[in-house]
Amino acid sequence: MGELDGQVALVTGSSRGIGAAIARLFARHGAAVAVHGRDEAAVKAVTLDIENEGGRALAVVGDLTEPAQIADIRTQVERAFGPTSIVVANAGGSPVPPGPLEELSEVDWRRSIDVNLTATFLTVKEFLPGMKRRGGGCIITMSSAASRRPTAQSPGAYAAAKAGIETLTKALALQAGPAGVRVNCLAPETILTERNQQLIPEDVKERLSRTHPLQRLGTPEDVAEAALYLASERSAWVSGITIDVAGGAVLV
């Protein structure tokens, strides 16, 4: 018996990196998983990986800043697997490089807010009413160490968006708790995703590792294990919190 047997999960932004690791782990633990992204080929590749391992997966593609596309995703998941009981609002990223705030354009500010905070809001808005009607569900949002411990290198708009997600998580936990819906947040630090493996030079990886009490950088699987805890019955009385998946580097 898997910890998520009988559950239907949507993991947004799961065509690669942290989201893909969460989708794969949830499927291994019995959930039927909707794999989401904007790159159809990448989404299908993760879906096929899950199916080849004996899991159940559905590929869904859509822009999470467009409410109609999110509604279509919900319909597809319900037709394939039934009502969604777990939503991991993982999609996001930093579309703008770090730099002085006064040099940030309004367009880039809005891009950063939209792909992180707005996308999370719209995703939850679409799936929360059904969870409330059914009397239960689990929502996991995704913040970042950039909002927990801002540095001079942190992209300001990205950090602000992620901080907004943490506050939104608390507000949702208060509002949805009486209906049996739990809402929690994860805040990873530097994670060795496929992209970071390629972009970060080895000497920089070594230097960054030494800034963490656990003396290594995180992996997508580290974050996936934390997500599994929040999605499972092991955290049945946990709601409204942010877990730092940071190797001890964020101490608050």
Active-site annotation, residues:
158
Chain centroid offset of residue 84 CA = 16
Which tokens is 212 given? 């963490």
| Exposure string over 208-228, b if 16+ CB within 10 A, otherwise e | beeebeeeebbbbebbbebbb
Place of tokens 């901080």: 163
Given a contact cutoff of 8 angstroms between Cβ atoms, the answer to whether 25 and 221 are in contact is: yes
Give the C-alpha separation, 56 to 67, whole Å. 26
What sections of the chain are H helices per DSSP? Answer: 17-28, 40-52, 67-81, 106-113, 119-134, 145-148, 156-176, 194-199, 202-209, 220-231
